[in-house]
Amino acid sequence: MFDYRVALLAGLAIVVALGIAGLFPVAVVAAALMIPLVTVVYFYDVDVYEREPALVTAFTLIWGAAAGIGFGLLANAATPSEIGVAQTHEANALLTVVGLPLLALALAILGPVLVLFPYRRFNDVLDGAAFGAASAAALAGAAACVYGIHLLGDGMSPGGEVLPWVIRLTSSAIALPVVSLAATGAATGAIWLRFRASAAERGALGPLGSPPVAIGLAGLLLVAAAAGQHWLPVGVWLATLVVIGVAALVWLRLVLRAGLLGEASEREIGPAIRCTNCGEQTRQHTFCAVCGVALKALPKGPSEEGGGRVPGESRLSRRWRLLGLMVAFGSLLAATAVIVDAAAPPGLTPACPTGPLQCGNPPSLPLPVGSEVSWRSPELGFGLGYAVNQWTVEQQDSTGIQLSSSAGPLQIVVRGSSAPGETAEQLVADRVSSIGTRLLGLTLDPDPADAIDNPLVGHRPGAGDAYVGAVDTPQGVQDQLFVVVLAAIHRGVGVVVTIVTDESDPNARARLYSLADPVINSVDWDGGP
């Protein structure tokens, strides 16, 4: 299995290198595609699909990919809009942590069980485990690509802190797919064990051999993995995934061992064959007498007929097979880079054309006249005004209000608090820290056009800055967000303003920000200036 290991390490190195270089959109696609492509190499190495590897491999992977595309579209539609994620951390936890992971598990199991289970030739526990693992790997890769499609429009280097991105990419490329494919493979292996093994063999795993218990355990592992992403820092989540992944792999190994022992009890010692793992002669049975590998996990067709397959011989040689994978992987990444570059937003258009002539103020969105309404906090006394035909109230309570713009993807959250002894800088830091738990790699916005030179709230000097990060959910990295946080304090009352948009075009973003200015300037303190 040299090819498999080389491909795995090379793919991980490419993903990490892209992340360190800040090419996050391409790195997300690389991480999503790595495990499915490496899985193909693994299937060629061990040929678990008997005499029809191409057809069955294609079906298993295509089913997983198709289910992943549908799952990604559904997840995008079901989860909240990108700009709303920064405001509501817990609103959809039940959906993203429980509902969607269980749906992904059901889809990964459904194809192999409905289509391949009825064929009696695929009667080994190894078959069921391989079918489920392949389906889960393809589903996870396709879903991550579809779910993060909006990220491809943010440019090659959209911005964000590198280390959290690299950790998240490592989770996406290795840890999370391993949990998914191992748990799903173990669950489908239990189904094959229950319905295809002999009555004496069905109790080999005890309760773990029961399909309802196995499917429930697989679902529990996937939910635990999703919960870690939702509530834990990205580094702690990766460590948690490693623990969950090891547990899932141990369980999968127990399932495979039960299948191999079942085969051993049914098979007599046969003539000498050549082990396709070490190339030495061994008696035809369940394990190679020289290297100890399970012969049932090696290429089945020629070996079981007694002829064996010479190591290094296959439909494609190991060298050309690995080279073909690298070319395919590189071609997909190159195509992604071309798409990202073509979809990247244009640069900021200067407010004035170059030349000796002066120009007037830059154009802005028209402001409404005579349609402003007021809101005031009954608890803290501060208030503000907003144009009713440009803003919709999403939420409000006694200390704050959340507005959504009808002119584009823009939200404003204005929230007050009693702030004796605090500074505006502390209020901004607390708010940024809170948002940072939901946005990946949140850092200062590197675009000088978004810089806040003179932060004011209600014409009161305060603190604030612009930030950029990415929406991160258990289903994958979704999109880039631009966040502005402003704060000021007057008479012991602190007001924090959060402006959020996913508009990647700097010209359109500047026009949207101009809509927020009147709302921020309208803030009054205790009924007056």
Q: Is 54 exposed, middle or buried (0-12, 13-18, 19+ CB in 10 A)?
A: exposed
All residues at 6 or more sequence positions from 286 whose CB lies less than 8 Å from its CB, including other chains = 260, 263, 264, 267, 294, 295, 296
pLDDT band at 304 (very low <50, low <70, confident <90, very high): very low
- Measured CA to CA in angstroms, residue 448 lies from 14, 203, 452, 513 at distances of 31, 66, 9, 14
Note whether 391 and 403 are within 8 A (CB). yes
- Measured CA to CA in angstroms, residue 216 lies from 180, 190, 203, 206, 319 at distances of 13, 12, 18, 15, 41
Two tokens, residue 4: 């498999």
Note whether 319 and 3 are within 8 A (CB). no
pTM: predicted TM-score of the whole model, two decimal places: 0.82
Give the per-residue pLDDT at 368. Answer: 46
Higher pLDDT, 400 or 312: 400
The mean-pLDDT minimum among 136-145, 192-201, 250-259, 508-517 falls in 192-201
User: How far is Cα 476 from Cα 471, in angstroms, rounded to an integer?
Assistant: 9
The string of pLDDT tens digits covering residues 124-172 is: 788 888 889 989 999 999 999 998 888 888 888 888 899 999 999 999 8
The string of pLDDT tens digits covering residues 348-401 is: 666 565 555 555 554 444 444 446 788 999 999 999 999 988 899 988 999 999
Give the per-residue pLDDT at 369. Answer: 45
All residues at 6 or more sequence positions from 430 whose CB lies less than 8 Å from its CB, including other chains = none
DSSP run (H or E) holding 252: helix 234-266
Give the per-residue pLDDT at 48. Answer: 52
The predicted model gives 197-210 an average pLDDT of 79
Give the per-residue pLDDT at 154. Answer: 84
Q: Which of these, 139, 234, 232, lies nearest to 477 by C-alpha position?
A: 234
Question: At 321, phi and psi to the nearest 5?
Answer: -65, -45
Strand segments, DSSP code E, in 377-452 are 383-387, 391-396, 400-405, 410-418, 439-444
Give the per-residue pLDDT at 488. Answer: 95
* DSSP assignment of 471-488: EEETTEEEEEEEEEEEEE
Give the per-residue pLDDT at 119. Answer: 76
Helix ranges restricted to H, 344-384 = none
